[in-house]
């Protein structure tokens, strides 16, 4: 078992990583308040892990409420959020209630936003069950739901009390969802850590085979990088935006195709290729660097070609981005492999990168 910390003064919290953690009541208790433990999960995850988690909470002495909502990105919306509020209110949950988010990034973001807003904020614990959630979304306190016009547009920064990353849960994760998580893992190498990028190039086959040692290293290093960045810039006024490499293009893909059509990590993967191409056109990366980005993403079994939504539609969608300022789209670009930066780029300069992204 490994333990890291997100250092945010009085809002800091541990990330515990390892196998079998959801069975350990002493661990779960570390994040609990004195009231009801309301476990929010989806109808797809509930049959796999809900009973284990509620039994563990009950062994730890908690009174447990189960809240099971519809699964998937298309359900990350107001309607589903309201189901959570309905259940909390119907069961007279007070401000001492702890919300336990059991699931992937969708449940983590949705339940986290419920925790941020229910009675102006109640404690919450992240129990991630997808690779994407273990390496990215459960850490850092970004919570949100989607709006039909834009991804993650309604949300709050709200840190959990504890992240309990049980690596055993990945044993039931389908390959497509697993690969989607690898998209966020390789992102850390591209934006921040060239040595980790080289390690990923050398170990991608082991990761695809879910080799426990390789997987543990990838999860730990990803969490370390993310925790370090969040500790420097919790509310994304600077370096935290680097974590959005590929996301301006990726969110446009997700919204443009309809939520859930492409998985988040798939859209981000194709978006990172587009961002690498744009970085080359801005004079930073070489042709060989872009080929390396494309090759690693392809080896992870992720898409490297973006869907052709049409340039006008891409720009419309990309203008609804949280990094946009005064109508100008700001992109996360690579200065070199292992270091990112953020800059506005005029549409005319982005157009050739988009053209390459949909056709290569
Ligand atoms: P997801 O939560 O939809 O999970 C993918 C699918 O896997 C779902 O159908 C889910 O039911 C299923 N599943 C989950 N755990 C399982 C398990 N152990 N075994 C079998 N099936 C399982 O998708 P995701 O990829 O985890 O998360 C994507 C979301 O995360 C997006 O909405 C994205 O915006 C968000 N996100 C948030 C942050 C953040 O910092 N808050 C960062 C990255 C992504
Ligand atoms: N996934 C982007 C962030 O947490 O900032």
The per-residue pLDDT for range 211-246, each reduced to its tens digit, is: 999 999 999 999 999 999 999 999 999 999 999 999
Confidence of residue 324 (pLDDT cuts 50, 70, 90): confident
Q: What does pLDDT average to over the chain?
A: 97
Sign of CA dihedral 282, 285, 289, 293: negative
What is the residue with the minimal CA distance to atom 2 of ligand 2?
243
- CATH numbers and ranges of domains, the chain: 2-172 (3.40.50.1970), 175-359 (1.20.1090.10)
Q: How far apart are CA 44 and CA 304, in angstroms?
A: 29
SS (H, E, C) 301-318: CCCCCCCCCCHHHHHHHH
User: Percent of the chain scored above 70 by pLDDT?
Assistant: 100
Return the ligand 1 atom nearest residue 131 CA. Answer: 26
Mutate which of 75, 248, 253, 264 for ligand 1? The one with the most ligand atoms within 8 Å of its CB, which is 264
pLDDT of residue 69: 98
Active-site positions read 120, 142, 184, 226, 236, 240, 244, 247, 251, 264
Mutate which of 8, 140, 248 for ligand 2? The one with the most ligand atoms within 8 Å of its CB, which is 140
pLDDT reading at 187 higher than 80: yes
Cβ(275)–Cβ(334) below 8 Å: yes
Q: How far apart are CA 265 and CA 52, in angstroms?
A: 28
- Predicted TM-score (pTM) of the model is 0.97
User: Would you give the DSSP letter of residue 139?
Assistant: S
Per the rule left: phi > 0, alpha: psi between -120 and 50, beta: everything else, 69 is beta
What is the residue with the minimal CA distance to atom 1 of ligand 2?
243
pLDDT reading at 311 higher than 90: yes
Pairing of strands 150-157, 142-147: antiparallel
**Rounded mean pLDDT, 320-331:** 88
**Rounded mean pLDDT, 18-28:** 96
Return the ligand 1 atom nearest residue 107 CA. Answer: 2
Q: Which ligand is nearest to the CA of 133?
A: 1
What is the residue with the minimal CA distance to atom 3 of ligand 1?
72
The per-residue pLDDT for range 48-66, each reduced to its tens digit, is: 999 999 999 999 999 999 9
Distance (Å) from CA 56 to ligand 2 centroid: 30
Place of tokens 């609804």: 320
The per-residue pLDDT for range 98-144, each reduced to its tens digit, is: 999 999 999 999 999 999 999 999 999 999 999 999 999 999 999 99
Confidence of residue 33 (pLDDT cuts 50, 70, 90): confident
The per-residue pLDDT for range 340-359, each reduced to its tens digit, is: 999 999 999 999 999 999 99
Q: How many CB atoms lie within 10 A of CB 293?
A: 27
- Strand locations in the chain, DSSP E? 2-6, 13-18, 37-42, 64-69, 98-103, 124-128, 142-147, 150-157, 162-166, 330-336, 339-344
- Asked whether 33 lines ligand 2 (CB < 6 A), one says no
CA distances from 102 to 21, 164, 169, 323 (A): 13, 10, 11, 29
């Amino acid at each position: 078992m490994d333990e890291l910390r997100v250092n945010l003064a009085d809002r800091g919290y541990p990330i515990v990583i390892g196998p079998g953690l959801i069975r350990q009541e002493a661990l779960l208790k570390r994040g609990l308040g004195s009231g009801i433990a309301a476990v929010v999960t989806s109808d797809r995850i509930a049959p796999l892990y809900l009973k284990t988690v509620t039994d563990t909470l009950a062994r730890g002495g908690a009174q447990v409420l189960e809240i099971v909502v519809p699964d998937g990105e298309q359900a990350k919306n107001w309607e589903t959020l309201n189901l959570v509020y309905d259940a909390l209110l119907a069961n007279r949950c007070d401000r001492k209630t702890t919300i336990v988010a059991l699931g992937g990034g969708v449940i983590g973001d949705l339940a986290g936003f419920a925790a941020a807003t229910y009675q102006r904020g109640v404690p919450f614990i992240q129990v991630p069950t997808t690779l994407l959630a273990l390496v990215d979304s459960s850490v850092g306190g970004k919570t949100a739901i989607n709006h039909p016009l834009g991804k993650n547009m309604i949300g709050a920064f709200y840190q959990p009390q504890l992240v309990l990353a049980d690596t055993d849960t990945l044993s039931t994760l389908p390959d497509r969802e697993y690969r989607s998580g690898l998209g966020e893992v390789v992102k850390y190498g591209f934006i921040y850590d060239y040595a980790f990028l080289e390690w990923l190039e050398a170990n991608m086959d082991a990761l695809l085979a879910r080799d426990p040692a390789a997987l543990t290293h990838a999860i730990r290093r990803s969490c370390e990088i993310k925790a370090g960045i969040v500790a420097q810039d919790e509310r994304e006024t600077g370096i935290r935006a680097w974590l959005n490499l590929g996301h301006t293009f990726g969110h446009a893909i997700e919204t443009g195709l309809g939520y859930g059509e492409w998985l988040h990590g798939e859209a981000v993967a194709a978006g990172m290729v587009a961002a690498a191409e744009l970085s080359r056109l801005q004079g930073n990366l070489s042709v060989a660097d872009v080929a390396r980005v494309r090759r690693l993403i392809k080896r992870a079994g992720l898409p490297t070609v973006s869907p052709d939504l049409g340039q006008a539609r891409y720009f419309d969608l990309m203008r609804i981005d949280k990094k946009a300022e005064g109508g100008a789209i700001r992109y996360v670009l690579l200065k070199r492999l292992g270091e990112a930066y953020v800059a506005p780029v005029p549409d005319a300069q982005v157009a050739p990168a988009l053209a390459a992204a949909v056709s290569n």
